[in-house]
Amino acid sequence: MAVSALKDKKIIVGVCGSIAAYKTAMLVRLLVKKGAQVKVIMTDAAQTFISALTLATLSKNEVYSRFERNEGGAWNNHVDLGLWADALLIAPASANTLSKMAQGSCDNLLLATYLSARCAVLAAPAMDLDMWQHPSTQRNIDRLQKDGVQLIQPDNGELASGLQGVGRLAEPETIVQALEVFFIPPKPLPFTGKKILITAGPTYENLDPVRFIGNYSSGKMGIALADAAAAQGAKVLLVLGPTALAPTHEQVQVVRVHSAAQMLEACTRQFPDSDIAVMAAAVADYTPKEVSERKIKKGEGEGLVIELVKTADILKTLGQQKQPHQVLVGFALETHDAQANGFKKLHSKNADAIVLNSMQDSGAGFQHDTNKITILLNDHSIQEFPLKSKKEVALDILTTCAELMRQKQ
């Protein structure tokens, strides 16, 4: 059985006066079974619902309820208790105690411990439906959440009063689970500290001051990739061709470009510093040999011939400059022999992966919010994915990037 995140954690369980206090016996037992060290503090009212002896026996520790220890002048130091704990869990939290916590009152040991605790505080309220719904209770809850107290929501069901509704103490298993989740350390983001260069959108190749050769790419796929990579901790530089769309994540730095030549320039400047580069832009393969300074007038003849020259292949250029630790990913859109052509591109451009966009499936490709991809890898393996939202596709591509990055480390 996996070790619980609660193992060796020091938990103070604060018990208030509520009929639900009987559930605390099970709660304490479950916490101890998970390996937690448990100390219980009870309010006076709590002791009319459950005995200190029960909780002392289950927690394997003496139960605290008063400041003074005995008539000799010794006392229970609430500051020490607060500093000992990794978490203070108040369950059941009565309306009265929640109100006093919100006010900063300090007329019993539990409240004094709450005020001096530096650890996380979780509260699992229990009370009757109308007390729970009362604006003053809700105001107190709101105040406490703003103060950093984590609320374990009460359940909906039959209440001790016979009423039906919200107010039942959450089940001990649910409370333990909330506490466990709290102690599970957050997973480090896969791209923390990594720089990712992404291209997206079309390029426009000017013919004259008012016309250009372009394509229908919206930039959605590359923008989704940029947002998702930033959300996973990457420092993202997005080289974005002409599109009305923009990324939303604030950690994405955008360099707007117009033509293939400008995109090449931005990419070759940024690539040496990047850990990963994903070329999702639909780059023009050809650009007019000459750009007319004046608007091209309609001539006498029936046709117009415009001479085009090849643009530099950005992916291939970066592939030639790629260092062993860098991951380079390209895209490909093929109408026939998709995988064979995709593998040719993968090798000729020295990429680590080619994301093959489907031309066959409705809902995939240019302008759509969905995409269907196949990823071709250098070891000749093929990863096929179903039709998904571009946001989900972005996550799949980034998972592959993270794996390729891991293999190169």
Q: Could you give the residue numbers annotated as active site?
A: 215
Q: Determine, following the binding rule CB under 6 A, whether residue 239 of this chain makes contact with ligand CTP.
A: no
Q: CA-CA distance, 355 to 332, in Å (whole number)?
A: 6
**Part in contact with ligand CTP (CB under 6 A); list of ranges 9-17, 102-110, 216-224, 325-333:** 325-333
Task: Select from 281, 364, 393, 405 the one that contacts ligand CTP (CB under 6 A).
Answer: 281
At closest approach, how far in Å is the CB of 82 from ligand CTP? 58
Tell me, residue by residue from 350 to 379, as one string, x for binding to ligand CTP by CB under 6 A and - for no binding: ------------------------------
Chain residues 331-350 in contact with ligand CTP, contact rule CB under 6 A: 331-333, 345
Q: Determine, following the binding rule CB under 6 A, whether residue 313 of this chain makes contact with ligand CTP.
A: yes
Considering the complex, state which of residue 216 and residue 300 has its C-beta at the smaller distance from ligand CTP.
216
At closest approach, how far in Å is the CB of 284 from ligand CTP? 7
Closest CA to 287 of 201, 203, 345: 203
**Part in contact with ligand CTP (CB under 6 A); list of ranges 151-159, 231-239, 326-334, 375-383:** 326-334
Considering the complex, state which of residue 28 and residue 315 has its C-beta at the smaller distance from ligand CTP.
315
For residue 93, the tally of other CB atoms under 10 A from its CB is 29
| Count, residues near ligand CTP per rule CB under 6 A | 14
Q: Determine, following the binding rule CB under 6 A, whether residue 285 of this chain makes contact with ligand CTP.
A: yes
Task: Select from 315, 328, 353, 375 the one that contacts ligand CTP (CB under 6 A).
Answer: 315
CB-based contact 12:45 (threshold 8 Å): no
For residue 216, the tally of other CB atoms under 10 A from its CB is 9
Q: Which long-range contacts (CB under 8 A, 24 or more apart) does 330-333 make?
A: 330/279, 330/354, 330/355, 331/221, 331/279, 331/280, 331/355, 331/356, 331/357, 332/356, 332/357, 333/282, 333/357, 333/359, 333/365
Q: CA-CA distance, 9 to 13, in Å (whole number)?
A: 12
Q: Determine, following the binding rule CB under 6 A, whether residue 283 of this chain makes contact with ligand CTP.
A: yes
Task: Select from 90, 225, 314, 393 the one that contacts ligand CTP (CB under 6 A).
Answer: 314
**Part in contact with ligand CTP (CB under 6 A); list of ranges 129-137, 232-240, 306-314, 372-380:** 306-314
Closest CA to 101 of 50, 137, 65: 137
Q: Determine, following the binding rule CB under 6 A, whether residue 330 of this chain makes contact with ligand CTP.
A: yes
Closest CA to 266 of 251, 255, 277, 274: 255
Q: Determine, following the binding rule CB under 6 A, whether residue 9 of this chain makes contact with ligand CTP.
A: no
DSSP 274: -
CB burial class (10 A; 0-12, 13-18, 19+) of residue 71?
A: exposed
Q: Determine, following the binding rule CB under 6 A, whether residue 64 of this chain makes contact with ligand CTP.
A: no
Task: Select from 113, 311, 326, 371 the one that contacts ligand CTP (CB under 6 A).
Answer: 311
Considering the complex, state which of residue 24 and residue 326 has its C-beta at the smaller distance from ligand CTP.
326
Q: How far is CA 314 from CA 123, 203, 348, 353, in A?
A: 57, 12, 13, 15
Q: How far is CA 64 from the centre of its chain?
A: 40
Considering the complex, state which of residue 2 and residue 216 has its C-beta at the smaller distance from ligand CTP.
216
Q: CA-CA distance, 271 to 277, in Å (whole number)?
A: 7
User: What crossing angle do the helices spanning 172-183 and 23-33 adopt, rounded to 10°?
Assistant: 40
Residues of this chain that bind ligand CTP (CB under 6 A): 260, 279, 281, 283, 285, 311, 313-315, 330-333, 345
